[in-house]
Each structure stands twice: as C-alpha cells, then as structure tokens.
Amino acid sequence: MAFNARMTVFFADPTLNVGWTETWILNAVDYPSAYATFGSFAPLRVALMMDTSFITTVRISNVNAIRDSFVRSIPAAIGQGTISHATVPPAGLDDALIWRKDDGVTYTYFNKLFMHSVPAGIFNGRIYPATTPPAGWTAAVIAFQTFILAGANGFLVRKGGPPVTYVPIGSFDPLRRTTRKLGRPFGLLVGRRAIA
C-alpha cells in the first residue's frame, strides 16, 4: 500500500565543519522504493553542490507511523558534491539559493528549499541567476527541476485538515540569494529505526 514518506537528507562539509538537512515528501510503495527515489535524487543534487560537501545519511520515515523509519549511511562515492572548489569559488558559508516549491495550480500551498554549498558565480549580488553562471550549472538546475516535478518525486503538505493531505509539487523555481546559518555536522542518529 502506498504511503507518504518524509525523506530527510543529511549534509556535511568537513572542511568548514558545518552540516544541514533538506526534507522532501515522496509517495512510496515501501521503504525500498523510497530509497530508490533517493538513488535517482542523489546524483542530481550533488551536481549542484561544491566538492567539499557530502550527503552523509538519508532517513526515510512513514509520515503516518511514528518512529517508523529507514536510515542509511551514504558513501562518499555517491554523496560527494561535484563542483570543484579549486576552480569555481564557493558562495559564503551561510549563503544559500532559495527555491520556491508550489502546487503550480493555485499557488497557495508552498514551501521553500534553502540550497547550500553553491558556487558564488551563480549570483550577481543577491540576484539569481548571474549573467554567466559556472559551466554546467544551468543544465544541472534544469535536470534537478525536471526530476522533482516528475510523478511522485515531490509533494507539499496541504494543511487545513484533518486529515492532512499532500499535493504534488507543480512549480519548483530558484529565486535569489539569501542567508541561512548552518549548524555543526550531525552525529549519530537516535531513536527506533531500521538501518541498512
């Protein structure tokens, strides 16, 4: 039976000693199918990330079953960012590219994504995009957008229940440069969960 899964992706930059998370809602048949979605998500996400940063862990939870989750550590071969900091200067430590997630129909159910570990050259001051972003950036953004907007790869929480309902992301757009402070990298996850 299909269920809504909350996919929490854990990131760390050991060079800068910072960490952060991104959360996505998926429609999954079971935990293996949700993890397969992450397997498609990961290469598209690391293509937009500096090579000093890593996806370290993914946790997938059934939103309707408290403490029912699946956790997997991600090897560096899969989780390392691909934009070379040696040739492409990174944005500031707390700089982020803010994205708007919306239903694409009524534009009333929206959320935001703060994308960290991005190149400085994608911005002109706070304006996005810069006239000439780093090579490959625009194509990587389009690939990421296309994936998130496809089928069951991204949902929004539609409040106003009960019950809480979820609507597909129909509009997913990068907006501008913003500042959002980061914390330290995450330690061991606690609680009841399945680890594979």
Burial environment of residue 149 by CB neighbours within 10 A (0 to 12, 13 to 18, 19 or more): middle
Amino acid 188: pLDDT = 47
Degrees, nearest 5: CA angle 177-181-173 = 35
pLDDT tens digits, 29-58: 899 999 999 999 999 999 999 999 999 999
Amino acid 161: pLDDT = 66
Residues 6+ apart with CB under 8 A from 196: 70, 71, 72
To the nearest whole percent, how much of the chain has pLDDT over 90?
73
SS3 at position 47: coil
CB 11 within 8 A of CB 56: yes
pLDDT tens digits, 164-194: 888 899 999 999 999 999 988 876 454 444 4
- The model's confidence at residue 1, banded by pLDDT at 50, 70 and 90, is low
Amino acid 61: pLDDT = 92
Measured over the CA atoms of residue 28, residue 31, residue 33 and residue 36, the dihedral's sign is positive
Q: Under the phi-then-psi rule, with left for phi > 0, alpha for psi from -120 to 50, and beta for the rest, what region is 86?
A: alpha
The pair of three-digit structure tokens given for residue 168, joined into one six-digit string:
């597909």
Amino acid 145: pLDDT = 97
Q: Check pLDDT > 50 for residue 5.
A: yes
